[in-house]
Amino acid sequence: MSLTLGDLRRRFFGSLGNERGQCVSAMAPPSSMTQAEATANADQPLLISGGPVHTADASGTTAEAIALAHGRILAVGSLTEVTARVGGTCRHIDLAGRCVVPGLIDGHAHMDREGLKTVWPSLAGLRSIRELLERIAALAASAAPGTWIVTMPLGDPPHYEGMPELLAEGRWPNRHDLDAAAPHNPVYIRPIWGYWRNKPPLISIANSLALALAGIGPDTAPPAPEVTIEKDERGEPTGVFIERTQMPIAELTLLTRAPHFSRPQRVEALARSMRAYNEVGTTCVFEGHGVAPDTIAAYRELAARKAASVRASRVFSPAWSTCGREDVAQMLRHWCQWLAGRGLGDHWLDVHGIFAEEGEAPCCEPRAKALPQTGWAGFCYDAALPRSALRELLLEAARNKIRVANIWPNVVDLFAEVHRSIPIDDQRWVWGHISILDRERFRQVRDLGLAVTTRTNRHIAKDGGRHLDRLGAAAADQIVPLRSLIEAGVPISFGSDNLPPTLFGPIHHAVMRRSEACGRIIAPAQSLTRQEALRCASFGGAQLCRREDELGTLEPGKRADLVVLPQDLMTMEADAIPALRADITIVDGKIVHG
C-alpha cells in the first residue's frame, strides 16, 4: 500500500495542531503527600495531578492526571477517570500548577562526557599566569613528589573562549612557569575537546618533568602534521603543544605517560552524567556517533550495580585498525548476531547497529593506537573506511538488517547506492547532525526512510546567521528544515551533543528559530509549535531508539518515564525555556531526581 505525505505526517504527528491540545474537566485531587512520602511506599500506585499533563501523543492530548504502577503508566485522563482506575490507597504528587511532560530522549547526547569534566581539577576563572601558578602550587602541596598533576584546560567552560588573551600576560604559560609551581611533580594541562568551542587550535601544556617522563626533547617529531611541538630560540620544547584539529592528538600519543581516564573514573563519571541529564529532564539517550569498548564497559558496570538512571541506546563504534580492514563484510557477518535488530541488552541499556564513516584521516591512526583509551571522545577514532570498503560494509549491513548511523552527507550518498541494490527504507538508518538539506538531500532523507537528529545548538543558535548569509534568503528553508521534514513524515529527534546537555535549548530553537549569535530569525517558516517540538524531543527520540512502543509518550501501558517542570511548557515565557530544570524526574516509575 502506498502512503501519501499526509499519511506519513500523521504517523508521526497525528492530528497535532494546537498548543494545548485536548483538556479534560477538573475536580479536586485527593489529599496530597510530600515528595519524600511519594518516594516511600514505592509499591503503591503514584497519582500525579493538579496541573497539565502533556502526553505528546499523536493528538496533542493534555490531560488532568496520570497514574503510575509497577514501572508502567496505569492511566492518563481526567482526574475522575484516573482516580477511579487507581482504586484504593495510592501515593499522590500535587503539581500545584506545574506541568508533566514525557521523559526527554536526547538523540545525540555524548552523555558520558558530562561527568568526565569534573575528574580533573578546574582552572576556570583564572586571569593571569600568577593565579594559575598559585592553583598548581596548591595542588602540588597536597600531592606526593613524583605524582602527576593533571588539570582541565585553561579557560572557562563550556566554550573555553578567549585564551590566552584573557590572561594578564597575554600569552600561554610554558614549562618554566609550571616548574616554579611544581618542581617535584610532572604537570600536564589538558587540551579542550575542540567541539566545545568549535574552532582550533587546541592547546595543552606540560612542565619539564612531564616532558622528561614522556621522552620529549629537541628531536621529538610531532605525531601528526596537525601537531606543533613549540620550541624556544635554542630549539628546546617550551612545553606548549598546539593542535590544529578538533580532537586532541598530543595527549593520546606524546603524553601517554600522563594519567588518562581510568575504568573506575569512567564509571563514576557516567553516574554523575546521568544525574546531570536527569536534572534537565532527560530519561533516555541515543549515542549515534557510536561508543567504544571503554564506554560500553562503564555502562555495563553501572547496569550491574542497578545504578543507571538514564536509559541508553548505543551504536557500536568499530576500531578497524585493530580488527582489520581487509574483509569488513565478513567481519560484520560475525557481528550480526548482536548488532542486528534491537541488538543486545534490555530496556535500560542496549547496543545495536554500527557507526559508519568514509575516509582515512592520517591523524586518526595515531589516536587509535591509544586504545582502549579514547579520551573525551568515547568512540573509536578509526571507525572510517575507504569508500569501496564502506560500500561493502553497508551492503552487508542491509542484508543482515543491521542499522547504520552516520553524520556525514557523503555517506548518505552511499546509503542511496546501497538502497538501489537492497532496500533500506524499512530499517530506519540514521543521519545525525543535519544542517543544510537542499532539494536532493531532502529527497534522500525521505525516500531512504532515514531518521534524523538535529544539532540546533550549532546550526541555528550559533551558525544560523552564517548559513543564512551563505545561502541567501531564497534558500533559507534549507537550514535545519524541521517543518518540511515533519510534513514529509521523517522521524526527527533533537540532540544536545552535550553542548550543553539539555534538550530545552533545542526545543526553544525549534520554536523561535533565533540565532543567539546574531539575533536574526532563521527560516521562520520552518518553526514548530511547542507541542510539535516536545514530540520531537520525546517521541522522535523513541523512534530513533526503536522504542516507540514503550517510550516517548504518556499513554497507558508505556514505561513510566516522565518529568515535572516548574512551569507549563506550553504557556511559559518562550525565552525562559532553555533554562528549564526538572522539579522531578521519574524513570521506570521511580523518582531519580527531585
Joined together, the cell numbers standing for residue 38 give 511519594
Give the residue, 394 or 334, on which the prediction is more confident: 394
Which residues fall within 8 angstroms of residue 326, CB to CB, at 6 or more apart? none
Average pLDDT taken over every residue of the chain: 92
The whole-number pLDDT of residue 495 equals 97
The whole-number pLDDT of residue 20 equals 33
Residue 42 in this model has a pLDDT that exceeds 80: no
The whole-number pLDDT of residue 8 equals 35
As a whole number of angstroms, the distance between CA 66 and CA 400 comes to 41
As a whole number of angstroms, the distance between CA 557 and CA 577 comes to 29
The whole-number pLDDT of residue 39 equals 57
As a whole number of angstroms, the distance between CA 542 and CA 284 comes to 9
The whole-number pLDDT of residue 435 equals 97
Contact status, residue 289 vs residue 355, Cβ threshold 8 Å: yes
The whole-number pLDDT of residue 360 equals 72
CATH T-level fold of 264-549+558-593: TIM Barrel (3.20.20)
Burial, 277: exposed, middle or buried (Cβ in 10 Å; 0-12, 13-18, 19+)?
A: buried
Helix residue ranges per DSSP H, 400-529? 409-421, 439-447, 456-459, 464-471, 482-487, 504-512
As a whole number of angstroms, the distance between CA 289 and CA 496 comes to 13
The whole-number pLDDT of residue 120 equals 97
The whole-number pLDDT of residue 4 equals 40
Span 206-220, pLDDT tens digits: 999 999 999 999 999
The whole-number pLDDT of residue 325 equals 66
Q: Residue 204: helix, strand or coil by DSSP?
A: strand
The whole-number pLDDT of residue 43 equals 78
Instruction: Tell me whether the omega of the peptide bond preceding residue 578 falls within 30 degrees of 0, making it cis.
Output: no
Task: Tell which residue, 101, 85, 96, 104, has the closest CA to residue 46.
Answer: 85
Contact status, residue 421 vs residue 446, Cβ threshold 8 Å: no
Span 80-116, pLDDT tens digits: 999 999 988 899 999 999 999 999 999 999 999 999 9
The whole-number pLDDT of residue 270 equals 97
Q: What is the assigned CATH class of domain 5-97?
A: mainly beta
- Domain range summary for the chain, segments of one domain joined by +: 5-97, 120-260, 264-549+558-593
Span 186-245, pLDDT tens digits: 999 999 999 999 899 999 999 999 999 999 999 999 999 999 999 999 999 999 999 999
Residue 13 in this model has a pLDDT that exceeds 60: no
Mean pLDDT across the stretch 18-39? 44
Q: Indicate the range of 64-73, 336-345, 405-414, 428-437 predicted with least confidence.
A: 336-345
Give, for 122, the enclosing helix (H) or strand (E): none
Place 338 in a pLDDT band, splitting at 50, 70 and 90. Answer: confident
As a whole number of angstroms, the distance between CA 128 and CA 166 comes to 8
Span 527-565, pLDDT tens digits: 999 999 999 999 999 999 999 999 999 999 999 999 999
Span 485-507, pLDDT tens digits: 999 999 999 999 999 999 999 99
Q: Pick from 25-34, 102-111, 317-326, 360-369 the range whose average pLDDT is largest.
A: 102-111
Q: Indicate the range of 40-44, 253-257, 320-324, 472-476 predicted with least confidence.
A: 40-44
pTM reported for the whole predicted model: 0.92
The whole-number pLDDT of residue 1 equals 38
Which 3-state string (H, E, C) describes 494-537? ECCCCCCCCCHHHHHHHHHCECCCCCCECCHHHCCCHHHHHHHH
Above pLDDT 70, what percent of the chain?
92
Span 426-457, pLDDT tens digits: 999 999 999 999 999 999 999 999 999 999 99
Alpha-carbon radius of gyration of the chain: 25
Joined together, the cell numbers standing for residue 542 give 523513541
Residue 12 in this model has a pLDDT that exceeds 70: no
Q: Within 13 A of 263's CA, how many CA atoms are on the CB side?
A: 9
The whole-number pLDDT of residue 330 equals 85
Q: How far is CA 540 from CA 234, 284, 346, 537, 553, in A?
A: 59, 12, 20, 6, 10
The whole-number pLDDT of residue 323 equals 75
Residue 37 in this model has a pLDDT that exceeds 70: no
Q: Indicate the range of 41-55, 60-74, 471-485 predicted with least confidence.
A: 41-55
Residue 184 in this model has a pLDDT that exceeds 70: yes
Q: Indicate the range of 148-157, 332-341, 350-359 predicted with least confidence.
A: 332-341
Place 3 in a pLDDT band, splitting at 50, 70 and 90. Answer: very low
Q: How far is CA 172 from CA 112, 184, 238, 244, in A?
A: 29, 21, 10, 16
